[in-house]
Amino acid sequence: MSISIKKAERIKQLPPYLFAEIDRLKREVAARGIDLINLGIGDPDTPTPPHIVARLREAAGNPANHRYPDYEGLPSFRQAAAGWMRERYGLTVDPATEVVSLIGSKEGIANMAVAFVDHDDVVLVPDPGYPVYHIGTSFNGGVTYRLPLRRENGFLPDLAAVPTDVARRAKLLWLNYPNNPTSAVAPRAFFAEAIRFATRHNVIICHDAAYAEIYFGDRPPSLLELPGGREVGIEFHSLSKTFNMTGWRVVFAVGHPDVIAGLGKVKTNVDSGVFQAVQEAGIAALSGDYAIVERLRAMYRERREVLVRGLADLGLVCDPPAGTFYVWVPMPRGQTAAGFAMRCLTEAGVVVTPGNGFGEAGEGYIRLTLCSPTERLREAVERLRGLGL
């Protein structure tokens, strides 16, 4: 006789998985032999640059890299990360105390709550936003307070509207610019406001800068380059999007030494660090020719123009993305995000992401990615034309 399996309450309290039905329909549509154009996932479609792959091959053959790695990252990797911050932002950071390696941003984001959130502490989370901000909070007994991101406010949270009692209980404030899913870029003035808010209420700012190098205007600021930023915050920099390394799972976080130490202490107790050969490949990325990143940015710019113009021709007018490789598109009047996403999939064979999958404030939008060649983007537009919008 088998035992009775009961899931933990934290698992039971997870919100319904909005994408489950879309995943089922994707399999069903694909089984009918329909060629799906997947504009739903933010995963670069071009390969990791060859010099990074070559460094991994060489490093993987070194027996010294076959043992347990340093929990918080190879000193040489952290030095390369510090060098990147100096080159990009003019910042001098201590690689020993202000930098830590991570197994992807997702791990670090979830573990911030483990390190700093106690039962009933408040975490301020953008809505729409990356779901792990809320899930990490919920798993650790915290309370999510959602900050709506609205077009009329430049998709920036209104920190002045946070009630005083909520701000008093808040431990973390999550920001993400360039922003997923809205593709907005925050100006320096907003980061200055956020630093004042954090200082006033003793809140740690957690800036998810995964898309920092994908922008189409002026370079987006780092939280840490503004006065006071290093005193209140931590910033997550992902090699995934910058160097097409999503599957490699290597990231660094940089910021206040006490915050880095708290995150590092969690890591020493729950994982064994990033494979050292992957960290050596990360060093090759961070210290290599920056022209690679500039070429990727130019490619996304071209794709952005093709998709935004094509959608506008269909009546789906949207703001051109200021950053990221996402396009945030308002829905035709009278249609829900999930309903329209289902139509795109079943009637046009185009996979898009419903905006409410990122939070209630995402209702009325869909998110499309630029992670497909221009000819596939043009084909996707032509297929959507058949919906008669």
| Tokens at 310, concatenated | 């094509």
CB distance 242 to 42 below 8 Å: no
For the chain, percent of residues with pLDDT exceeding 90: 83
Backbone φ and ψ for 259, nearest 5 degrees, come out as -70, -45
Q: Is 353 exposed, middle or buried (0-12, 13-18, 19+ CB in 10 A)?
A: buried
Q: List domains and CATH numbers for the chain.
A: 9-47+292-385 (3.90.1150.10), 50-287 (3.40.640.10)
Give residue-wise pLDDT tens across range 189-224: 999 999 999 999 999 999 999 999 999 999 999 999
- Alpha-carbon distances, residue 8 vs 11, 32, 138 (angstroms): 5, 38, 12
pLDDT at residue 55, as a whole number: 97
The DSSP annotation for 148-198 comes to: E--GGGTT---GGGS-HHHHHHEEEEEE-SS-TTT-----HHHHHHHHHHH
Across the chain, mean pLDDT equals 93
pLDDT at residue 9, as a whole number: 79
pLDDT at residue 33, as a whole number: 84
Find all residues with CB under 8 Å of 46, minimum gap 6, and list them: 244, 296, 299
Indicate whether 226 pLDDT > 80. Answer: yes
Indicate whether 119 pLDDT > 60. Answer: yes
Backbone φ and ψ for 235, nearest 5 degrees, come out as -130, 135
Give the H/E segment covering residue 127.
Answer: strand 122-127
Beta bridge partners of 206: 174, 234
Indicate whether 142 pLDDT > 90. Answer: yes
- Alpha-carbon distances, residue 305 vs 198, 298, 310, 374, 378 (angstroms): 37, 11, 8, 10, 11
Q: pTM of this prediction?
A: 0.94
Give residue-wise pLDDT tens across range 50-70: 999 999 999 999 999 999 888
Beta bridge partners of 254: 99, 235
Give 119 or 272, the one with higher predicted confidence. Answer: 119
For range 354-366, the mean pLDDT: 94
Find all residues with CB under 8 Å of 197, minimum gap 6, and list them: 159, 162, 167, 173, 203
126: three-class secondary structure by DSSP: strand
Backbone φ and ψ for 184, nearest 5 degrees, come out as -75, 155
In single-letter form, the type of residue at position 147 comes to L
Tokens 């899913």 locate to 181
